[in-house]
């Protein structure tokens, strides 16, 4: 129990440092819109039919977690959207699924992703949705991507670290 409390505190601290606190009342309605617009993607088959594909890092790892922080889960990404430097509230670039004990995956979050150079070409500051600035992941990352901005929205699963925190201490890959 102590370990879980410490992990939750660490994740909450990371959320505060990245500007990923909980959703306020104004962003709650936007999150409700995200949910209602994307309910079909509770089904991975529907996500794949919609052009989303499972993402693996350079080592072939598909479930993303970080010891001491929790996990993200398994990402299904629509690469065409990642290559588009515009961000749409109801059209995230990725859906994140939580691995369940029975081996199934459950929709947990949406993730917005934009390549930094593409965004910076026509903007003077980081992208922002739901009142939160995106996080920066530098080049040399585990996916082999150039530097990119991203924002997780835990719209379908509660995240004790915050609605917009990248990692959820209640999500585990193993």
Cβ partners under 8 Å of residue 17, min gap 6: none
Q: What is the pLDDT of residues 33-49, one digit of tens each?
A: 999 999 999 999 999 99
Q: What is the pLDDT of residues 136-148, one digit of tens each?
A: 999 999 999 999 9
For residue 80, how many other CB atoms are within 10 A of its CB?
10
The pLDDT of residue 27 is 83
Q: What is the pLDDT of residues 70-129, one digit of tens each?
A: 999 999 999 999 989 999 999 999 999 999 999 999 999 999 999 999 999 999 999 999
């Amino acid at each position: 129990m102590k370990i879980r409390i410490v992990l939750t505190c660490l994740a909450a601290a990371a959320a505060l440092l990245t500007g990923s606190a909980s959703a306020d009342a104004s962003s709650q309605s936007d999150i409700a819109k995200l949910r209602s617009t994307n309910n079909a993607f509770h089904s991975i088959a529907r996500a794949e039919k919609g052009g989303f594909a499972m993402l693996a890092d350079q080592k072939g790892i598909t479930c993303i977690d970080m010891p001491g922080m929790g996990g993200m889960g398994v990402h299904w990404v629509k690469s065409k959207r990642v290559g588009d430097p515009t961000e749409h509230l109801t059209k995230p670039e990725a859906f994140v699924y939580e691995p369940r004990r029975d081996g199934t995956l459950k929709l947990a979050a949406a993730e917005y992703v934009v390549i930094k150079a593409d965004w910076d070409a026509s903007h003077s500051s980081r992208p922002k949705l739901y009142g939160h600035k995106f996080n920066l992941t530098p080049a040399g990352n585990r996916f082999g991507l150039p530097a990119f901005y991203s924002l997780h929205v835990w719209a379908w699963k509660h995240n004790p670290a915050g609605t917009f925190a990248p990692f959820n201490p209640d999500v585990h890959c193993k």
